[in-house]
Amino acid sequence: MAEKLVGVDYTAVDLRAKITGRAKYAEDFRAQGMVFMKLLLSPMPHCRVRGVDDSRARQVPGFIDIMRASDVPQPEGPSEAMLTDEPKYEGEPILAVAAESEEACAAAIEAIELDLEPLPFVLDPLQSLRPNSPNAYTEGNQFSGQDGWSTYKWTDADFAEVDAGRMPNPATPIVEWSKGDIEAGFAEATVIVEEMIVHQSATHHPMEPRSTMAYWENGRLHAFVSTQSAQRTKMGMAGALEIDPEEITFVSEFTGGGFGSKIPGHTHMSLAPLMSRKIGRPVMHRVTRYEENYIGRARPGFQSWVKMGFRADGKCTAIDLMIVQDSGPYGAGDHNTASNVADITYTPGNMRYRGFPIYTNTPPKAAQRGPGGAQINGMLEPLIDKAARELNMDRLAIRILNAPTQAYGMGPRNQMLTSVFAKEALQKGAELFDYENKIRLSGQRNGSKVTGIGMGLSTYTAGSRGYDGLMVIRPDGKLYVYQGIGNLGTHSISDTARPAAELLGLNWDQVEIMWGDSSRGMPNSSVQAGSQTTHAHTRANYAAAQDALRKIRAIAARQLGGNANQYRVDNGRVMGPGGSMTFAQVAQRAIALGGEYDGHTLPTDINAATVPAANMHVGTGLVGVARDNFGGEGGIYSWLAVFGLIELDVETGHFETKELVCATDVGTVIHPRSLGAQCYGGAIQGMGLAMSQRWVFDPQYGVPFANRLYTARPPSIMDAPRSCAWDAVGIPDPQTPVGAKGIGEPSVGAGSAVLTTAISDAIGGVCLCRTPLTPDLILASLEGRPLPFGRLDQHVG
Amino acid sequence: MANMKDMIPAFDLVQPTTVEDAVDLMKDAGDEGWVLAGGLDTMDWFKDRIKRPRVVIDVGGIEEMRGIRDEAGGVEIGALTSLTQVATHQRVRSEFGLLSTAAENVATPQIRNQGTLGGNVSQDTRCWYYRSGWPCYRAGGNVCYASAPLAMNREHCIMGRSRCVAVNPSDTAPALIALDAKMVVQSPRRRLYDAEDFFIGPSVDITRMTVMEPGDLLTQVFVPAFWANSNFYFEKVRDRGSWDFSLVSVAAAFRMSGNTIEDARIAVNGVAPYPVRLDAVERLVQGETASETIQNAAGELAIQGTRALRHNDYKIVMMRNLVRRAVRSVAA
């Protein structure tokens, strides 16, 4: 009997290499004759390059060549180029230098004289909405594909409302949607809570900066890249370089995190290939922590106003939400997602959303783990508590009441979701936390310490459909699963193969995972982002396994007699009425038969990108290859309910997180230990957003200061809760054959929410309504002193 | 000149094995020399290419500057002794727990393993304008960017300013002041400074954090037995649990006679360009019991004369509360 694989802990296939140091990351690769490349970054937040004198740089021993903006594609509109002559943030790359060593690169760059024309800049998006304020671009602060550039400002009357601490009412929001009847919703409300809330921007700061090594050999590009995705990054690189994807040998076996900043790779990964092509030498571009701070992307901050109405029984009846988003120079979509997440988490039925994404001269923004959702859940959960207090209602009860069921449609289009077990997650979490007893500790004082109880609900996308699976049973009797998804440490590369292996009746030691090198074959895959892979690739691999199983049975029936459907698989054998065969024998037979059995004939519905990958394995064994045609309707979302206990010192503003409990609706649990790690890891990342991580600029000069890990202050292990526990609802998603959904995203919003609510609880229900909630802010509030920053100040700390 | 970071420029490395040789090499190098110990302050400066010495004098091989020795009347700690050793040394822990606790609060285990006591007290300020290479007063310019009207100065000083508003970042410095430690400086003349006098503010010399001038080498720290086994209190408030400098810290030593404070030494850091000994507070509490009234009076007295910058008013109450708590720690 083969072992059970789904729902069982195991050692993921990449761990030993990581622990023993054998894992090779992008900057570990070398090639003969390799040289180095470094970037010259803009010293100003917005300027125009009038001239570059590189004559002294060219005299630096070891200097090889220089690449300017004119050497790389320059997209139209607010789109990012690899190099630019009009930098739009401090740190934007102006040019690249190649030299025999990094020391020579640095010396050459320092020898370059730049003639820069400073241009007006804006850091704070709200300031860019003031009449006559500067814009991030010389052409304006809004862009549309149809109409080009324009300038969008609020009026003095709008800012009179802002300055008075009220929600303004701009005549023409940039983005607007509504559902239901917002006025009727508020009319129905017994309690209305209204707040201004600021969420900071936050750099991604993955442990591994985005380095690339590249060289060309006979027209073929060999690229070693730090990226989240694999097959999709290869396609992205091919697009950026305007070459056939099959002319790239793409390697990315291990990546030290990305959090959304390297989803399909990144803009600057194509510089090393371009430089290599220009100089005819392999090029290593090692990105440093300092550079990562600039080009490494950030979560966009929000300045927002929100009004929520609640009926006497606690039901949320209306949300009026308004967000000004720091979109950086190249845009971000977080604010839109935030509005949808607000709707689906609190189910008001009546909602208006007005969004103001504004370009700024700060480093570029990109999706960061739970983009939009993490911000809004952390921001709004204290308001749910505020309503509960005013209604004298239990904080868990109000959440369970407002949590969605599958009947609630999300956002303006009332999008249906495949499964929603949010109430169940809240109930399971409450049990695990011992909510009934713990809530009694709320506000309890022990010396200068006061206990705060935090809780919240968080959600995010958790899957996608329609990708391809590819696997081969070789004559050695093993199953080789070819993964096109990336490996940034989430175990997806092996977790998503487990249900397929189980379907084929295999033990785990009979399975080999092949990943991270396009020369092994990468089928069309989802990006490694948005918590998609668990859902998308358990499906795709399951489809391929079904294809393999069909072929195994057919071969067995042909070889041994009887009906194919009477054959079953177990422990590397297929057996039925005519006897049994090993998978090794099946593979040999498949090669002999050819046709669809060994991949000579491929399904017609697989993606064109899968074909060359499958062709690499023609004749090597029994090929299982299929598109995920399982179908399904609606959005795929997972849920995480969170509970926590903190002790806050009222004399210092410092707090310690004592307990964290996560309960999640992710459908079927594939790999419990990995799921727990995602719950805790994401939650701690979210706690960092709530408590310490920051993004600070000098407003006069437009330059950032939180540009090192120690100044940006992401959470450390000493900030992690002393006690953690997790559990899962465990109800399979009915629309996917394996029943599993992803989890990486919602844990961040949950972690943020558990602290924003716990702190509010500890300080008597006051919502400080900004992140990060650092000791200065908490202490100033408790002591009735001037708060360190204005209510809507952004990029401060 | 274009901006370049995270790439250490080349330098000549010399590695003396005696204090005498080190001092000679430092003299030879003059203003072009740089003393390297644990390297935690140094490497940031080097990576940012702001400090570019011609010669780096690595004193890490000087054994006589390493280790903790029992001496008549106290303990002598070599300046190269790691913070981990200071934090875990049996006698330091049992008799001078204030210092071991302060050392334990530095950064992370990795940094404490590498960082030295001498480096921790000699380190430069972390004002981010100054550390970013801006031409401020401390860097030889004629402006303080951190006190400009729009500046980000949440972590800057509330007292002791004199053109510069940076703070001293050391965790062990206030503990050494509270323990009345003596700093041994060689150049080649051997000098002894009270810890309190070792640290200097910008009104004395805006380019330095300590009395040490180029050519000076901190070789030992002597902790006298006078305050051994006293009642100690150390607390550091920071934004996150590790790898973080203090917003405000307090270190206090109390000699008790029953419930009465016979003698006290209290110092705070993170509030001024130098660690501040609160001698007025010491006099206030001397001969008193640590009643709530005395606790509060001590806190209020401590913050007299403080003045907030635009974003750091909170430091005033944080300092007041920490001093209160220090006194409260010896309440009956």
Handedness of CA A177, A183, A185, A186 (dihedral sign): positive
Q: Which of B303, B263, B265 is nearest to B286 (CA)?
A: B263
Cβ <8 Å between A38 and B9? no
B172-189 tens-digit pLDDT: 999 999 999 999 999 989
Task: Say if residues A429 and A663 touch (Cβ distance below 8 Å).
Answer: yes
User: Residue B236 to residues B85, B153, B179, B323: CA-CA distances in angstroms?
Assistant: 20, 19, 17, 11
ipTM higher than 0.90?
Answer: yes
Find the helix packing angle between A746-762 and A672-691, rounded to 10°.
Answer: 50
3-state secondary structure of B95: helix
Report d(CA B85, CA B94) in Å as an integer: 14
**What are the chain B neighbours of A654 within 8 Å (beta carbons)?**
237-238
Q: Do B150 and A699 touch (CB under 8 A)?
A: yes
Task: Give chain A's residues under pLDDT 50.
Answer: none
Query: Could you give phi then psi for residue A672, rounded to 5 degrees?
Result: -55, -45
Q: How far is A749 from chain B (nearest CA, A)?
A: 19
How many contiguous H segments (helices) and E segments (strands) does chain B have?
A: 13, 12
Chain A: closest CA distance from residue B309 (Å): 10
Q: For residue A380, what are its two tokens?
A: 């709004």
- Residue-wise pLDDT for B202-227, tens only, equals 999 999 999 999 999 999 999 999 99
* Residue B2 pLDDT: 79
* CA atoms of A513 and B265, how far apart (whole Å): 64
H-run or E-run covering A613: helix A610-615
> What are the φ and ψ backbone dihedral angles of B113, each rounded to 5 degrees?
-70, -35
Structure confidence at residue A145 (pLDDT): 87
Minimal Cβ distance to A779: which of B150, B244, B314: B314
pLDDT at A131: 96
Inter-chain CB proximity B237 and A103 less than 8 Å:
no
B156-to-A504, A693, B146, B167 alpha-carbon distances in Å:
64, 19, 8, 6
Which of A106, A709, A797 lies closest to B7 in CB terms?
A106
Q: What is the model's pLDDT at position A507? A: 98
What is the full DSSP assignment across A457-524? EEEEE------EEEEEE-TTS-EEEE--S--SSSSHHHHTTHHHHHHTT--GGGEEEE-SBGGG---S
Q: Please tell me the predicted confidence (pLDDT) of residue A626.
A: 98
* CA closest to B321 among chain A residues: A651
Q: Name the A residues in 99-158 with CB < 8 Å from any B CB.
A: 102-103, 105-106, 109-114
Compute the distance between CA of residue B173 and CA of residue B274 in angstroms, rounded to an integer.
9
Q: How many CB atoms lie within 10 A of CB A592?
A: 11
* CB atoms B128 and A38 under 8 Å: no
In the structure, what pLDDT confidence band is assigned to residue B3 with cuts at 50, 70 and 90?
A: confident
From chain A residues 595-654, the ones with a CB under 8 A of any chain B CB are 651-654
Q: Where are the beta strands (DSSP E) in A601-669?
A: 622-627, 637-649, 655-665
| Cβ contact A14:A487 at 8 Å | yes
Q: Which chain A residues are Cβ-neighbours of B10 within 8 angstroms?
A: 103
Interchain CB distance below 8 Å, A716 and B322: no
What pLDDT was estimated at residue A652? 98
To the nearest whole percent, how much of chain B has pLDDT over 90? 98
d(CA A514, CA A469): 12
Mutation pick from A63, A710, A778 vs chain B, by most beta carbons of B within 10 Å, is A710
Kindly list the residues from chain B whose CB atom is less than 8 angstroms away from the CB atom of residue A290.
Answer: 5-6, 47
pLDDT in tens, B89-131: 999 999 999 999 999 999 999 999 999 999 999 999 999 999 9
pLDDT of A509 reads 97
At B8, the amino acid letter reads I
* A291:B247 CB<8 A: no
Contact B243 A710 (CB under 8 A): yes
- A683 in helix, strand or coil? helix
Contact: A113, B1; criterion CB under 8 Å: yes
The verdict on a CB contact (< 8 Å) between A716 and B108 is: yes
Position B72 scores a pLDDT of 87
Query: Taking 80 as the threshold, does the pLDDT of residue B1 lie above it?
Result: no
Q: Residue A27: what pLDDT?
A: 97
Of A109, A710, A780, nearest to B2 by CB-CB distance is A109
Mutation target among A83, A294, A654, A755 for the B interface, most CBs of B within 10 A:
A654
- B154, B242, B321: residue with CB nearest A718: B242
Please check whether residue A355 is in contact with residue A728, taking contact to mean a CB–CB distance below 8 angstroms: no
Cα–Cα distance measured from residue A532 to residue A466, given in angstroms and rounded to the nearest whole number: 12
